[in-house]
Each structure stands twice: as structure tokens, then as C-alpha cells.
Amino acid sequence: MHMFHDALVSFAERRVIYMLMEVIKDTALDSIKLLPFLYITYLLIELIEHKVGEAGRARIGAAKKSGPIWGALFGIIPQCGFSAAASSLYAGRIITIGTLMAVYLSTSDEMLPILISEQADVRKIMAILIGKIIVGIVAGILV
């Protein structure tokens, strides 16, 4: 009986180690796939910042009061990298912390494709997105 218990434990341990290795492998592969996209996104952001110049910065910065509204609306666009762009704009002191918070709180990068792939009800998806927009706007204005 004792040997049977040890065999089960070692089988369970091997199964856990196998699952952890699969998680690590998938995480590494996903990261490798994502790196070129992030590099290109940041490269384009820097290019836009240099091309736009002071006039463009002034236009984006002029949206101080409405910044959280625009940030929350752009933030819900899935897989667009707008949160990375907003981080760069904030680092360059072009947008306010309120706009940055609105973007972060409304971002739905992974949520939306997962809900769509799981064939979630469209009304449920829209309710979540609208809720994220409202939370982003309110938090952005309050900050």
C-alpha cells in the first residue's frame, strides 16, 4: 500500500512539473512573438513624437479636461498598443495622469478577444466595455 501511495505522489509531482514547464514554454513563446510588435509600436510612437513636434504636442496637451474621455475611448480598442503609447506620452509630459489612468482602466486588450472567442453575449460585452469607459473617465477626471 505504501509503494502505491509513493507512485501516485511521484506521478502527481511529475504532472505538476510537466504543467509548469508547459506554462513557462508558452509564456516564453508568447513573449517572443510580442517583442517585435512592442518594438515597432515604441519605434512608431517615438517617430510620431519627433514628427509631430511642438504643435502636435500642444494640440494633444490642450485636451487637458477632455483627455480622460479621449483616453478611455481609445483605451477600449483591443490589441492596439494604446496603453504603451499613452505611457510614452505621459513620460514626455504630453498627457496628464488623469488621461493615463483613463487609458489603463479602460484597456481591454486580452478581455475582448477572449469573450468573443467564447461567444459571449454581445450585450454582456457592450455592458462591460461601457462600464470600463465610464470607470476610466470618472477616475481620470478625479485624479
Give the confidence band of 53 by pLDDT, cuts at 50, 70, 90. Answer: low
Give the confidence band of 135 by pLDDT, cuts at 50, 70, 90. Answer: very high
Specify the pLDDT at position 7.
59
Give the confidence band of 2 by pLDDT, cuts at 50, 70, 90. Answer: low
In angstroms, the Cα distances linking 62 to 67, 72, 99 are 8, 17, 12
Q: What single-letter DSSP state applies at residue 51?
A: H
Contact assessment for residue 74 and residue 82, using Cβ atoms and an 8 Å cutoff? yes
> With 60 as the cut, is the pLDDT of residue 119 above it?
yes
> With 80 as the cut, is the pLDDT of residue 110 above it?
no
